[in-house]
Amino acid sequence: MTEPIVANSVLPARREPFRLRTADGLDLVAELALPLAAEPVGTIVTVHPLPTHGGMMDSHVLRKMSWRLPALADLAILRFNTRGTTSAAGTSDGAFDSGNGEGLDLRAAIEETVRRGLPAPWLVGWSFGTDVILKHGDVDPVRGAVLLSPPLRYSTDADLAAWGPAGRPVVCLVPELDDYLRPDAARERFAALPQAQVRGVEGAKHLWVGERFVKIVLDEVVGEVVPDRVPLPTEWSGPMERWSDL
């Protein structure tokens, strides 16, 4: 029976909780979600919003990526709690470090994609996570980055400019009604990063609340990583769980 994909829909995947080990000896709570019956065609490593304001690997857009994209787009989704961050899966070692030590957390996640042989890793950050990516994510084998609601609070023009020589694509999804950085201001700030694409999203706010905006984000992300998989389906005919049932 075909059912609509709604906010709490959890589509089939192979989900593995595990721990990332950082270069400075911390253990981070993490999860890898893989397609159930196929090899992944691409990989997304997510970096969550500000943990001092409730951000974590389960922040809703990132959680929905892991619930849907392995099934809908054959993508591997790696989520993790940065140092000192707590979610339902547990608390990562360490303490919040304003985007500095979190670079080691991101590096551990990228290295995990290499260790597991996961293909074509892209980085997806949201709010604080975009600063971590801009400061530390311009490294091999990263293919590019998608930034959701970038506030540019911890990253500098020099961090942005450093992405220029390698030419990795950087797509910035900026809500029209963002609390911190709106599209016109974002275009001015991202002028320091030559290949940045700033895409304003009409009616959206910083937290991307509402399935209409989640669908926009997921389509934009998948459109960068595996363009032939968009637009994503809005219905599912196979097994499906609901978050409240888990």
Residues 29-73 pLDDT 10s: 999 999 999 999 999 999 999 999 999 999 999 999 999 999 999
Predicted structure pTM score? 0.97
Percent of the chain with pLDDT strictly greater than 90: 96
User: Quick check: helix, strand or coil at residue 189?
Assistant: helix
Where residue 100 sits, what CATH number does that domain have? 3.40.50.1820
Q: How confident is the model at residue 243 (pLDDT cuts 50, 70, 90)?
A: confident
CA 233, distance to chain mean position in Å, is 20
φ and ψ of 98, to 5 deg: 55, 35
Contact 79, 89 (CB under 8 A): no
Instruction: Determine the structural domain holding residue 196 and report its residue range.
Output: 3-245
Number of structural domains (the chain) is 1
Cβ within 8 Å of residue 156, ≥6 positions away: none
Cβ within 8 Å of residue 185, ≥6 positions away: none
Condensed to tens digits (0 to 9), the pLDDT of residues 146-155 reads 999 999 999 9
Contact 222, 73 (CB under 8 A): yes
Condensed to tens digits (0 to 9), the pLDDT of residues 96-122 reads 999 999 999 999 999 999 999 999 999
- What does the alpha-carbon distance between residue 77 and residue 242 come to, in Å, rounded to a whole number? 19
